[in-house]
Amino acid sequence: MTILVTGADGYIGWPVLLRLAEMFPDERIVGVDNFARRRWVEEIGSVSAIPILPPEKRIEKARERWGNISFVEGDLTLKEFVDMLVRVYEPDTIVHLAAQPSAPYSQISWEKAVYTQYNNNVSTLNIIWSLKENNLLDAHLIVATTTGVYGAPEYPIPEGFYQVEYKGGKDVVPHPHMAGSFYHMSKCNDINNLWLAHRQWGLNVSDMRTAIVTGATTEEAKGELATRFDFDFYFGVVSHRFCAQTLIGYPITVYGKGLQGKPFVTLEDCVKSFVECVRKGGEGYKIYNQTLGAVKIVELAEMIREAAAEEIGLEVEVKHVPNPRVEKEEHEMVIENDNFRKLVGKPTDLKDAIADIFREIERRKAIIEAHKDRFLPKALLNQR
């Protein structure tokens, strides 16, 4: 069996690649990346708080430990490159993690919005069509989409499809898309194309709707094989930014009341679910809401405040600031996740993931301090 992992140099892709190599020692694990994430973060003036090796050295170190890893550099928006991958490796499974993953980055400008949708949607379309044209529609395509496609509805979000009744008729349909950024809309487009490929050609798809991923390490991805840890406004998720603020002595800034429920998943459970999905195999079109459930932002802030005190002896305040976003001040997000929980079993506690972050970034304080203008709200930059 050959397992292809796209986006294999990324925050999630790298630990997924390593975990697959560990769990499937007799299979060939092929990583693919064009290293664009490194360029995007550099472009907006930031770095990974946890230093990562240059690509060549990183791959060399991984191969020293797991001899079943191969790596190919290339751009998935080039159909010729994707066709080469599919023809040469004939993958039984593709874990598609390659994407421009930042909602704020996609909102910077017209150019960034267009780039995000072109990069993400053309890459996925190229994979779909290459599998069809090379007679590999029996392959299992596992794709990272996002819980962001759901928006913030005032009813429980199903894990998959739901029955709609209207004016005497009824049908089972996918959940409607209510994206809040051009990045999230790119994932809505991916889902539509994947669903179409399944209905037209019978492609086996596992649609992994990934929540806000939080954590610094996995068992395989640490030390010299560490995965990246972004903390800036564009690529650092809210939990990582809060930890960074805390570490350099600033209050945790909660927008508005902080009573907005947001879906979270630990890095460990995110990686485990992708790997277990590979093991399980795919049949039909199945959706996994890849989340532990919703956590209110003010609750997240309190978790981080407590972890900072317990792990590194830092006392920090939680400060409420005016919300610059157009969103509901209070929202109870209820999201079903039975399929996901069957993959991961007992989930990792979000508090443990936050504690792990502080243990890893405490010695990186100078890096974070030097880039504080990349993640602190402007109102705090001149305050101590």
Catalytic residue IDs: 146, 183, 187
Retrieve residue 284's tokens.
């039909």
Which residue's entry shows tokens 């996918």? 174
State how far the Cα of 295 lies from the Cα of 335, in Å rounded to an integer. 11
**Residue 329 dihedral angles phi and psi, to the nearest 5°:** -70, -30
The amino acid at residue 32 is V
Three-state secondary structure along 182-208? HHHHHHHHHHHHHHHHHHHHCCEEEEE
Retrieve residue 253's tokens.
């800034």
Q: Are 53 and 61 in contact (CB under 8 A)?
A: yes
CA proximity to 89, closest of 29, 14, 17, 143: 29
Residue 288 pairs in a beta bridge with 208
Using DSSP's 3-state secondary structure scheme, residue 69 falls into strand
Q: What is the largest CA-CA distance in the chain?
A: 64
State how far the Cα of 353 lies from the Cα of 357, in Å rounded to an integer. 6
**Residue 171 dihedral angles phi and psi, to the nearest 5°:** -160, 165
Q: How do strand 259-266 and strand 212-214 relate by DSSP bridges?
A: parallel
State how far the Cα of 60 lies from the Cα of 65, in Å rounded to an integer. 9
